[in-house]
Amino acid sequence: MTSVLSDCVVFVTPDYQFAETPVFFVKPLEHDYTALEGDTVTLDAEVSKPDLEGIWYKDEIEILPDVDEKFEITAEGNVHELTVHQVALEDEGEYTVQVGPVSSTSTLLVDGGLNCLA
């Protein structure tokens, strides 16, 4: 609809409300990740929306990479990654990434290698 007032043209647009697209995992975490002790492993997931904050947990405790340099958290576009450096037996456990209202969980299994007795 257009209204003309003197030399001014005013465009009136009806109020539209758009439903926000829900966040979902395009690629959730793999069911299990396996790493050898001493290796580096990266867990990754992709969500439907870019630039959302992701929070990572190990056994339901938030991972704070500023506190433990063993962990590196990155988010680029839609992809969220957790890298575990110098994997140790104590890193084995359940890992979860929460992005907005959705979360995905996986298990990291650590292989300590073969212990041979001489």
pLDDT tens string 12-36: 556 666 677 899 999 999 999 999 9
DSSP classification of residue 77: T
At 65, the pLDDT band (50, 70, 90 cuts) reads confident
CA 63/CA 52 separation, integer angstroms: 17
Is-contact 4 54, C-beta < 8 A? no
Give the tens place of pLDDT for each residue, 32-46: 999 999 999 999 999
Domains in the chain, ordered, with CATH?
23-111 (2.60.40.10)
Average pLDDT over residues 72-94: 97
Distance of CA 46 to the CA centre of its chain: 7
